[in-house]
Amino acid sequence: MEGLISLKTTPGISSQSIPSFNHPPNFFLRRSSMDLPLRRSNFFAIRAHQSDTVSPKKEEDEDALKVKEWEVGMFQNEVAASQGIRIRRRPPTGPPLHYVGPFEFRLQNEGNTPRNILEEIVWHKDMEVSEMKGKKPLAALKKVIENAPPTRDFVGALKAAHSRAGLPGLIAEVKKASPSRGILRENFDPVEIARAYEKGGAACLSVLTDEKYFKGSFENLEAIRNAGVKCPLLCKEFVIDAWQIYYARIKGADAILLIAAVLPDLDIRYMIKICKMLGLAALVEVHDEREMDRVLGIEGIELIGINNRNLETFEVDISNTKKLLEGERGQMIRQKDIIVVGESGLFTPDDVAYVQEAGVRAVLVGESIVKQSDPGKGITGLFGKDISL
């Protein structure tokens, strides 16, 4: 049985004063900008609070707007679920409330506990982004972007590396830690690692910016960009809000990751448009056939990453890349001239040859090269030869 985790009375609101409502009480708006959960208690508390200052007509309009917002939120969650997206968005104020007479109480494990690590990361990101947005509003970011140096051609660099060496172009990842592997490198100097990767023949770099789970940062991204590293940079983030794309752009990103397990199609479409506007490449990441099919239905995608790691369970299986590129899917990818990136769990020249054979033109590698005392030499070990020549 689930535990009772809080119990309190609500001043001014008794169960009798709450009109019945057809919507489930624990439904939350998805958008982080609308942080107020429109449960009936809040909804009517807002009304009560406003009633002496707002005219009845205005109040009615505002109520109608709140109900509409609630419905739109419900619709968005339903759309995500219908696309097979299992990752739910964070309930803004914890577990849903229940009422017995004048008492409110909350139950544990009732939609308030993340079901897996990806969901936990996304819920934490929701809070982080709301806070950062407050400090740096979009309008301010847009001003900075007006004077920002141009982006570098991420896709072009991968294509050039692939046709030059006849091997998958390498996106080398600046990665200090991960939730599945813990700390990968103790003495971690992001700029030094980035320079070693560049010297070792990487076509592009990936820089983790998530702090809590991957011990990365936007400062790392900015420092690598400002250190004169020429490889185009992928901002490796959990993007849930377009604001993050603008922020990545001002911190020096040339490309950004969009994870299909987290984002509904409409969000991916919208974010790809923003990327194009800002001169960024979008690497759209999939893990299974369903996500691949969704993404193949979206116009304008140039780069698809196949993650061999399941972000919900951490299981790694490099045959996933092969599986997702077989048959009609592979055909469609070739027709559309999409560059596929094989991601995660690649350690040996055999691994690289295996995913190349499966059809990738690029690979994204972290652990196996970042762990080496000289990450540049790690690249030589990964490919079985010096690719910097």
Ligand X SMILES: O=P(O)(O)OC[C@@H](O)[C@@H](O)c1c[nH]c2ccccc12
Residues that bind ligand X (CB under 6 A): 173, 175, 236, 285, 307, 343-346, 364-368
- Picking from 332, 272, 264, 324, the residue whose alpha carbon sits closest to that of residue 296 is 332
In the residue annotation, 285 being an active-site residue is answered as yes
Helix (H) or strand (E) holding 223: helix 218-226
Which string of b and e fits 181-218 if b means at least 16 CB within 10 Å?
eeebbeebebbebbbbbbebbbbbbbbbbbeebbbbbb
- Alpha carbon distance, N-terminus to C-terminus of the chain: 63
Min CB(178)–ligand X separation in Å: 6
- DSSP letters along 284-314, please? EEE-SHHHHHHHHTSTT--EEEEESB-TTT-
Per-residue tokens: 308: 């061999």
The counts of H helices and E strands in the chain are 15, 13
Min CB(126)–ligand X separation in Å: 16
CB nearer to ligand X: pick between 221 and 364: 364
Cα(208)–Cα(174) distance, integer angstroms: 6
CB nearer to ligand X: pick between 250 and 346: 346
Cα(2)–Cα(350) distance, integer angstroms: 49
Residues 6 or more apart whose Cβ sits within 8 Å of residue 134: none
In the residue annotation, 320 being an active-site residue is answered as no
In the residue annotation, 175 being an active-site residue is answered as yes
Q: Which of 307, 308, 320, 368 is catalytic?
A: 307
In the residue annotation, 59 being an active-site residue is answered as no
CB nearer to ligand X: pick between 195 and 236: 236
Q: Which of 220, 343, 367, 368 is catalytic?
A: 343
In the residue annotation, 143 being an active-site residue is answered as no
CB nearer to ligand X: pick between 68 and 86: 86
CB nearer to ligand X: pick between 237 and 254: 237
Min CB(236)–ligand X separation in Å: 6
CB nearer to ligand X: pick between 333 and 365: 365
Cα(160)–Cα(93) distance, integer angstroms: 49
Amino acid at residue number 305: G
Nearest position to ligand X, beta carbon: 366
- 345 sits in the region (left: phi over 0; alpha: psi -120 to 50; else beta) called left
In the residue annotation, 176 being an active-site residue is answered as no
Backbone angles phi and psi of 273, in degrees to 5: -65, -45
Q: Which of 198, 285, 302, 367 is catalytic?
A: 285
Cα(49)–Cα(239) distance, integer angstroms: 35
Min CB(135)–ligand X separation in Å: 24
Q: Which of 125, 175, 176, 322 is catalytic?
A: 175
Beta bridge partners of 362: 169, 341
Cα(190)–Cα(33) distance, integer angstroms: 33
Crossing angle of the two packed helices 243-250 and 117-135, in degrees rounded to 10? 70
CB nearer to ligand X: pick between 38 and 275: 275
Q: Which of 125, 236, 251, 322 is catalytic?
A: 236
CB nearer to ligand X: pick between 90 and 125: 125
Per-residue tokens: 251: 């911190």
What number of residues does the chain have? 389
Q: How many CA atoms lie within 13 A of 91 on its CB side?
A: 17
In the residue annotation, 173 being an active-site residue is answered as yes
Q: Which residues are catalytic?
A: 173, 175, 236, 285, 307, 343-344
